[in-house]
Structure 1
Amino acid sequence: MKVSLTDQLAELRGIESNYIDAWGKPMEVEPQSKHRILEAMGYDLKDEQQLQHQIQQESEQAWLEPLDPVMVKRQNEQLVIALRLPIELVNDEMILRIHTEQGAEVEQRVVAAEGELIDAAHIQDGEFQEYLIDVNQSLELGYHQLSLLAEDEDEIASMRLIIAPQACYKPEAIDRGQKVWGLSVQLYCLRSEHNWGIGDFSDLCYLLEQAAEQGAHFVGLNPIHALYPANPDACSPYAPSSRRWLNFIYLDVTAIDGFEQPEVQKLVNSSEFQARLGHLRNVDYVDYQGVTELKLQALDLLFEHYNQQYLKGNTRQNRSFKAFTEAGGESLQILACYDALQEHLKKQGKDYWGWPVFPKGLQEYHLPEVAKFRKAHGQRIKFYLFLQWQAALQLEKAHKLAEQKQMCIGIYRDLAVGVSEGSAEIWGNKALYATDASVGAPPDILGPLGQDWGLPPMDPQQLYRQQYQPVIDLFRSNMQSCGALRIDHVMALLRLWWVPKGNSAKKGSYVYYPVDDLLGILALESQRNQVLVIGEDLGTVPEEIRQTLASNGVYSYRVFFFEQAEDGGFFSPGHYPEQSMATLTTHDMPTLTGYWHCLDLELGKSLDLYPSEEILKELYDSRHDNKQRILDTLHGHGSVPEWMGRYVEQVGMSKELNHGLQLHMATGSSALLSLQLEDWLEMDKPVNVPGTSSEYPNWQRKLSKPLESVFSSEALQGLARGLTERRQNASDGE
């Protein structure tokens, strides 16, 4: 086979041949990696003749479609569309008609040949020509429909036309220079006197209220996407079943109307239930299986009453429920059906972890057998719809509370980079995903072996053909009930590291996405929902994309421990970009205590995460040097007491050092400062260890103290006052 043919195809499909790694070294992608990615995109590379036929078919298909599926333009940008027609039609007068989202209708008459000829091709014994046509219309922001009509008004073709703003939304306070701080937390890890062994939306309300009283302006959450009710131990918030919907496990069951019913109370007050509840509250790691069983037991009874009482007539509740399910559309129905189906298969003793192991007739949502299942199990599907509705109501209540407390951001949510292979999202739209590949990262500082996250990527060509609707839905749904959205691995808008199935994580390649279009849609949804956007731009990041993100109003994510100069010194937070969110650590890093005492390196060694003793020794040596530099920085800025030692060998982690680091960050120039609640509590165990699955209890460790006691601590109240004061001084330019 001619290598040039596959290389040409790889380039056409946006597969990178070379890249710069995290250490600044140029790297070349192995041909085998590119070939495997092309196969994951659906190309047959074993037969050169078949491959040429596929490429020809794709080319012909593009020529046979007069208009592109979708076009994204910024407001006030000149509208120019590409129009492809058989040569015999290029001199005919046609109508371009635009139905705007606002309900208006505008049109102009065009003759293709009067535009600029940019290409021509012979397709099926006929000549086709492509012209650029100026559209002389000024359109409002939004999603519009452009149609090409013949003289007799017959529609020839249509396309989606998206008009986007120049940049994402900024809250007024942030726009005028106010610098704020907030707390970030994994919602599941919250302990309280009232929850059922896992943090819930009522805990979130309490946390927001208390944080606001201490001067915080936001609470940042881990992804709260829908997971798997039938498989609770699949608990990673970054490997969800659907990113559009919520994890019902965060429901406060006691806050749902109907909890007071005698049959529910009888269950909950039984000695067995109370004993299990006490155990779930007291354990140091979330028992997802136990919590899910307990909540579903109570929710089953509660729904029985609620459905009978409210969801069968013309009640206020039923009208609200129906409006919610109607707005949720097919995506919500897919998730509820998937949850019910997994549960059903599990009860039957069949394989159920995900659609790849379902019976053949149930492996896609749009199959006839699934329709039969929906009809036969409508009541159970309604139950899962009900849980989504209640979760949305409870999250919205927390959002409203943040607004009442005049937090300028309130809740900030987190959008995961993908969904797991056995997800409802893929089950409902298989054409969109390359299931023979996975998203990950090439080797970098956090993961020297590279990372494979087990998340099948969206195929950029399919995303384009679906008129970007999947990402519109994603952005829009994740901007509900919040004031900011953090986009995990924001580089996914530009490129994703694809790892073909069976390859090691380092044997992948970057695949490029239509970044300008995706950023335009992000800006449109951000402005409409009045949500600030933060892009997690860590790892291997080309400098030009940072500039592109900044010009689109996306806030950078600056982690203190990564902000080092070439000489090894740490940049002062006063030099961070104003358009950024600064933080000390993340969920993928050790806590402050863990970092200072090298507990993460000790843990990594026990988990065999390092290829050799030499690499581990280098990491220890580097950590020692970094800690000394950090200590120098803190003393240089007067962020720690004079009495504290100046040599790292003499200084262990202490409350003074912990608070000094946090207060040091508060003097910085970033508009936002996010601090981990774990570090307020001086905890040592990490949330997540990248590169592990079952080796470490990721996403399970709870906070060391209940919420009620966190904010009663005089030391933490003093820390909060110091943070607020320094943020105000930074706002005033002091």
Structure 2
Amino acid sequence: MDAKLLEQAAERAGIIPEYIDAWGQRRVISTETKQRLLSAMAGASEDFHRPAPLPSVWVVREGESAALSVALSEQADWVLTEESGRQHEGKIQRGRLRLPDGLSLGYHRLALRKELSHWRCQVIVAPVRCYEPAALLAGHKLWGATIQLYTLRSQRNWGVGDFGDLALMIEGTAKNGGAFVGLNPIHALYPALPEWASPYSPSSRRWLNIIYIDVAALDDFQLSAAAQQWWCLPETQGILSALRDGELVDYAGVMALKLAGLTHAFRHFMTRGPDDPLRRSFEAFIREGGESLRFQSTFDALHRHLTLEGHPTEGWQQWPEPYRQADSEEVREFRRKHHQDIRFFSYLQWLAARQFDECFQLSRRLKMPIGLYRDLAVGVSAGGMETWSDRTLYCLAASVGAPPDRLGPQGQNWSLPPQDPNVLIARAYEPFITMLRANMRHCGALRIDHVMSLLRLWWVPLAGGPQQGAYVRYPVDDLLAVLALESHRQQCMVIGEDLGTVPREITAKLQAAGIYSYKVLFFERKDAVQFRAPDEYVPQAMATLTTHDLATLRGFWQLEDLRLGDRLHLYAADVIYQQLLEDRQKARQALLDALHAWKCVPAKLGKNADRVVMSPILNRGVHRYVALSHSALLGLQPEDWLDMALPVNVPGTTNQYPNWRRKLVREVAEIFDDQAITRLLREVGRLRNKSADSENPLPRPE
């Protein structure tokens, strides 16, 4: 392909020809990178760019006058059918098709006809802003707990935090004035590969991780004589005790135990008659889940079958050739022969959805303003159900990552195949819509990881490293409109994780769309020696102390994360480690100065950070500081209430550190029985109310 044609093809496909790097330098994308990405993109095909009178999708905002240029004569007729069935008709006027005013919000069908030719287009009418809870619109400042669900301990779980523990967490948080409980992504992982533990590399973002099912709470587990006999075996109880007592989650052991218990429950469930209410609910769930649930259940059953046959794999690319195509005859034959196994995995998804919904309904009964708050991963793993069942949407010859920056001079490759934006458009955003609906169900807020993905993603060709990547453009205005529409329909607010280098062009768009920003205390610094004051925090935001990818509060103050990184050989040279230590010393001093300036700690604590160790007084002072922030939301981690040092995840590691496995040091019930913790949470609530009191604004420090 000659240079001009290559540039045109790259432009149509959305490949951005240049960008400004983390050092402020202009970087031009090479011809080789463009060629590799074009070959990876199904959407680069001319089929997606062939001129037509109507686009595949037309997105307009509520209240705006919308018109489209149409390369047809005025003899063409159009009919718009709203979701309600109401119809509007008209003709092309001067080559323009103008939509009628006052269209309702929603998904409508536009048909264009000229003689024997017909064209169709989906028209999406969306609100300007995402949904916001009444409490936030009224100016309240809310706080909640943000947890990694698997870390929760209790005397009733099976070695991993589950939906029963989540209910306990909801009750304890609500009792102490919390407005929500935030969760790590609970997307479907791999039942046949339980050690694949990262919640940010799921098999599917539409379905749930079945390891979170509270098996003992199931009626069919309790009613099954076989289940209860198995449960009472000394061997079963011995395994259970070991799993509960372990400092780390033993995913393989937990999954084996749960699948055994769930198999007993399923066998009893299948004895229920067709008119049984639970049986009818299950059958309705299967009908509603449609093809997507069929693929998920088939994938999990087939993966488990192959593993039990002695062919353990990390994904479908390593399966025997006939099974690598989701619609192959061999897969259809597997469905026929293993119909009951597939129903078993559909049953597990049904159980997970029911128990998760029960948790959300509990938060509603407790009158929590938000309730549950979910986290949406930026992508799916290459070997999972979604890529297996939809080869056109996912570009398997590329991966999402990040260009080189100050923290990662070599760039990052996240091993997540990107969705082709051209295919998204051609499908009228249906994959995006269904994903949002699945993740906004049963919750009051959705956090979108790496929200910049709505604007652009760094694509890395599999044949090259992250340095050889390029940004690919996504239809940000359309995606924000769809997000706003689904947000209102599901009554679910949206939080965008916008840490790192954020393009200016999206910052204003996110704010205008009603998407709440994400502010981490450790990063909220004006410069090396000054933290941002609480009353300078962005109101339309969620503030946090830290995140799952960063140090805990104790780890930050005591330098535990830096020492851990040094032990794990994460720093290319000792000079980098020394620089990080120097930067941290400045950050600690700046934070201590801010705590004193805002009277969050007593003067007796001392003002030299090198002489101050982490203590209950310092811990309380930092919590008080973020509680005073003007951000509408505040998320707090139980790890910081418990003064834990070890992080959940260490970016840049795989087997060097037990990522996504570390449990909390105390049980959920013990946390909320601890008077020091409950006093801390009640004080956070009082300070949140104080920061929201417009009649008594916070005093500025001298």
TM-score by length of 2: 0.96
Matches within 5 A, 1:87-166: 90-91=72-73, 93-110=75-92, 114-115=94-95, 132-150=96-114, 156-166=118-128
* 8 A Cα contact 1:253 1:259, kept in partner: yes
CA–CA separation in structure 1 for the residues paired with 2:569 and 2:25: 26
**Deviating more after overlay: 255-264 vs 563-572:** 563-572
CA–CA separation in structure 2 for the residues paired with 1:325 and 1:351: 28
Amino acid at match of 1:66: P
* 2:154 maps to which of 176, 192, 195: 192
Matched, 1:292 2:292: no
How far has the Cα of 1:68 moved from its partner? 1.0
Matched, 1:711 2:672: yes
* 8 A Cα contact 2:130 2:483, kept in partner: yes
* 8 A Cα contact 1:68 1:82, kept in partner: no
Amino acid at match of 1:689: V
CA–CA separation in structure 1 for the residues paired with 2:592 and 2:65: 54
CA–CA separation in structure 2 for the residues paired with 1:572 and 1:406: 31
CA–CA separation in structure 1 for the residues paired with 2:336 and 2:406: 51
2:486 alignment partner in structure 1: 525
Q: Could you report, residue by residue, the CA deviation over 1:108-144 in whole angstroms, capped at 9, with x for unpaired residues?
A: 1236xx22xxxxxxxxxxxxxxxx4223353101111
SS of aligned partner of 1:503: coil
Matched, 1:21 2:21: yes
Matched, 1:80 2:81: no
SS of aligned partner of 2:310: coil
* 1:409 maps to which of 363, 367, 370: 370
2:10 alignment partner in structure 1: 10
* 8 A Cα contact 1:444 1:540, kept in partner: no
Q: Could you report, residue by residue, the CA deviation over 1:432-482 in whole angstroms, capped at 9, with x for unpaired residues?
A: 011111111223455443221110000111111111100001111100111
* 1:272 maps to which of 230, 235, 246: 235
Q: Could you report, residue by residue, the CA deviation over 1:386-426 in whole angstroms, capped at 9, with x for unpaired residues?
A: 11111111011110111111110011000000000001011
Matched, 1:62 2:44: no
Amino acid at match of 1:201: F
How far has the Cα of 1:501 moved from its partner? 0.9
With over 3 angstroms needed to count, the CA separation of the structure-2 counterparts of 1:567 and 1:200, relative to structure 1, is: closer
CA–CA separation in structure 2 for the residues paired with 1:602 and 1:726: 34
SS of aligned partner of 2:485: helix
Q: Could you report, residue by residue, the CA deviation over 1:358-394 in whole angstroms, capped at 9, with x for unpaired residues?
A: 2222212222222221121111111111111111110
2:164 alignment partner in structure 1: 202
How far has the Cα of 1:155 moved from its partner? 6.1
SS of aligned partner of 1:216: coil
**Deviating more after overlay: 135-144 vs 713-722:** 135-144
Q: Could you report, residue by residue, the CA deviation over 1:186-235 in whole angstroms, capped at 9, with x for unpaired residues?
A: 00010011000000001001100011111111110000000000000111
SS of aligned partner of 2:205: strand
* 8 A Cα contact 2:528 2:587, kept in partner: no
* 8 A Cα contact 1:188 1:286, kept in partner: yes
Matched, 1:396 2:357: yes
CA–CA separation in structure 2 for the residues paired with 1:352 and 1:224: 22
Matches within 5 A, 1:186-265: 186-260=148-222, 261-265=224-228
How far has the Cα of 1:647 moved from its partner? 0.8
**Deviating more after overlay: 435-444 vs 658-667:** 435-444
* 8 A Cα contact 2:215 2:262, kept in partner: yes
1:436 alignment partner in structure 2: 397
How far has the Cα of 1:95 moved from its partner? 2.0
With over 3 angstroms needed to count, the CA separation of the structure-2 counterparts of 1:27 and 1:190, relative to structure 1, is: same
Q: Could you report, residue by residue, the CA deviation over 1:237-260 in whole angstroms, capped at 9, with x for unpaired residues?
A: 000011011111100001112112
SS of aligned partner of 1:426: helix
How far has the Cα of 1:82 moved from its partner? 4.1
* 8 A Cα contact 2:495 2:541, kept in partner: yes
Q: Could you report, residue by residue, the CA deviation over 1:9-48 in whole angstroms, capped at 9, with x for unpaired residues?
A: 32332222332334544444444333322222259xxxxx
Q: Which runs of 5+ in 2 are unaligned?
A: 698-702
Q: Could you report, residue by residue, the CA deviation over 1:295-338 in whole angstroms, capped at 9, with x for unpaired residues?
A: 0001001101101224xx12212221122111112111110110
Q: Could you report, residue by residue, the CA deviation over 1:611-645 in whole angstroms, capped at 9, with x for unpaired residues?
A: 22222211111111111111111111111111112
SS of aligned partner of 2:525: coil
CA–CA separation in structure 1 for the residues paired with 2:230 and 2:312: 31
* 8 A Cα contact 1:191 1:706, kept in partner: yes
1:282 alignment partner in structure 2: 245
1:456 alignment partner in structure 2: 417
SS of aligned partner of 1:431: coil
**Deviating more after overlay: 287-296 vs 361-370:** 361-370
CA–CA separation in structure 2 for the residues paired with 1:211 and 1:623: 32
Amino acid at match of 2:57: V
CA–CA separation in structure 1 for the residues paired with 2:47 and 2:81: 29
SS of aligned partner of 1:414: strand
CA–CA separation in structure 2 for the residues paired with 1:250 and 1:602: 33
* 8 A Cα contact 1:444 1:539, kept in partner: no
With over 3 angstroms needed to count, the CA separation of the structure-2 counterparts of 1:432 and 1:564, relative to structure 1, is: same
How far has the Cα of 1:430 moved from its partner? 0.8
2:503 alignment partner in structure 1: 542
2:682 alignment partner in structure 1: 721
TM-score by length of 1: 0.92
CA–CA separation in structure 1 for the residues paired with 2:316 and 2:265: 29
* 8 A Cα contact 1:475 1:525, kept in partner: yes
With over 3 angstroms needed to count, the CA separation of the structure-2 counterparts of 1:282 and 1:155, relative to structure 1, is: farther
* 8 A Cα contact 1:325 1:332, kept in partner: yes
CA–CA separation in structure 2 for the residues paired with 1:23 and 1:581: 28
What value does the CA root-mean-square deviation take over the aligned residues? 1.7
CA–CA separation in structure 2 for the residues paired with 1:238 and 1:558: 20
* 8 A Cα contact 2:221 2:268, kept in partner: no
Amino acid at match of 2:512: S
Amino acid at match of 1:70: V
2:700 alignment partner in structure 1: none
How far has the Cα of 1:8 moved from its partner? 3.5
* 8 A Cα contact 1:22 1:539, kept in partner: no
* 8 A Cα contact 2:22 2:406, kept in partner: yes
With over 3 angstroms needed to count, the CA separation of the structure-2 counterparts of 1:445 and 1:483, relative to structure 1, is: farther
Matched, 1:325 2:274: no
1:347 alignment partner in structure 2: 308
How far has the Cα of 1:81 moved from its partner? 2.8
CA–CA separation in structure 2 for the residues paired with 1:540 and 1:578: 20
Amino acid at match of 2:416: L
Percent identity between matched residues is 46
SS of aligned partner of 1:133: strand
CA–CA separation in structure 2 for the residues paired with 1:257 and 1:676: 33
Matches within 5 A, 1:411-430: 411-430=372-391
How far has the Cα of 1:7 moved from its partner? 3.2
* 8 A Cα contact 2:272 2:279, kept in partner: no
Matched, 1:316 2:277: yes
* 8 A Cα contact 1:374 1:381, kept in partner: yes
* 1:375 maps to which of 336, 340, 353: 336
* 8 A Cα contact 2:128 2:484, kept in partner: yes
* 8 A Cα contact 2:146 2:636, kept in partner: yes
1:35 alignment partner in structure 2: 35
CA–CA separation in structure 2 for the residues paired with 1:351 and 1:289: 13
Amino acid at match of 1:694: N
CA–CA separation in structure 2 for the residues paired with 1:447 and 1:267: 50
SS of aligned partner of 1:539: coil
1:638 alignment partner in structure 2: 599
SS of aligned partner of 1:430: coil
**Deviating more after overlay: 417-426 vs 690-699:** 690-699
With over 3 angstroms needed to count, the CA separation of the structure-2 counterparts of 1:28 and 1:603, relative to structure 1, is: farther
1:305 alignment partner in structure 2: 268
How far has the Cα of 1:175 moved from its partner? 0.4
Amino acid at match of 2:160: I
Q: Could you report, residue by residue, the CA deviation over 1:493-530 in whole angstroms, capped at 9, with x for unpaired residues?
A: 00111111142223322111000000000000000111
* 8 A Cα contact 1:218 1:411, kept in partner: yes
**Deviating more after overlay: 464-473 vs 365-374:** 365-374
